[in-house]
Amino acid sequence: GEDVEQSLFLSVREGDSSVINCTYTDSSSTYLYWYKQEPGAGLQLLTYIFSNMDMKQDQRLTVLLNKKDKHLSLRIADTQTGDSAIYFCAAHPPMNRDDKIIFGKGTRLHILP
Amino acid sequence: DTGVSQDPRHKITKRGQNVTFRCDPISEHNRLYWYRQTLGQGPEFLTYFQNEAQLEKSRLLSDRFSAERPKGSFSTLEIQRTEQGDSAMYLCASSLGDSEYNEQFFGPGTRLTVL
């Protein structure tokens, strides 16, 4: 089955860019997601990328997908204190096979003043 | 607010007691999912429904767990004879389920603490 791995912690200075990396194992995953979870809150979908895309940009967020290496990254430009949260990488197999999202363990982003 | 709602938000119970959680999905959504998130982990899939039919159950869902969606709208997740290892955040999500891109919208979760 699918396995999603990501580093557990990242510290970044306010104003710098944050880059969170993720690897997954199932090359047939159709959609790859980045979710944000703030303390005591549910999951917020930040952005997603379809598996036939290489890059997606949405305001301060840039997602890069290297399908050959099964590597996904999330870049947050001009990181702010409000970006402090846990970021989950997640993969979605093709819907005709499975309809559950496989999550990584999450990367805790800490913003340094 | 027309998002996914869950009730209660917090539940503290003693080991051995039964607990039941409720999830109300977004009204036009056909699919409803349950995930469990333990401390320091990402959410793990438990089960999902297409309307009232339960289509898949994870091996994480032991015999003590049962989920229902009797009328294809709200769903309940019951845990019988709770154990300390059941302490977790239980997340519900819903989706339209009829398109290739099937975004799952998550509720705020029910945090269960078993003493």
Nearest CB neighbour to B109, from listed A42, A90, A106:
A42
Chain A contact set for B30 (CB, 8 A): none
Structure tokens at A44: 């917020």
- Minimum mean pLDDT among A51-55, B15-19, B79-83: which range? A51-55
Higher-pLDDT residue of A41, A37: A37
pLDDT > 80? residue B49:
yes
* The pLDDT value given to residue A11: 97
Q: Which residues contact A85 (CB under 8 A, 6 or more apart)?
A: A36, A37, A38, A39, A108, A109
**What average pLDDT score do residues A34-44 get?**
89
* The pLDDT value given to residue B5: 95
Please give the backbone phi and psi of residue A91, each rounded to the nearest 5 degrees, phi first. -125, 145
Burial A46-84 (b: 16+ CB within 10 A, else e): bbbbeeeeeeeeeeeebbbbeeeebebbbbbeebeeebe
* The pLDDT value given to residue A48: 93
Percent of chain B's residues with pLDDT above 90: 79
Chain A contact set for B43 (CB, 8 A): 43, 88, 101, 103
Smallest CA–CA distance from B110 into chain A, residue: A42
Chain B contact set for A7 (CB, 8 A): none
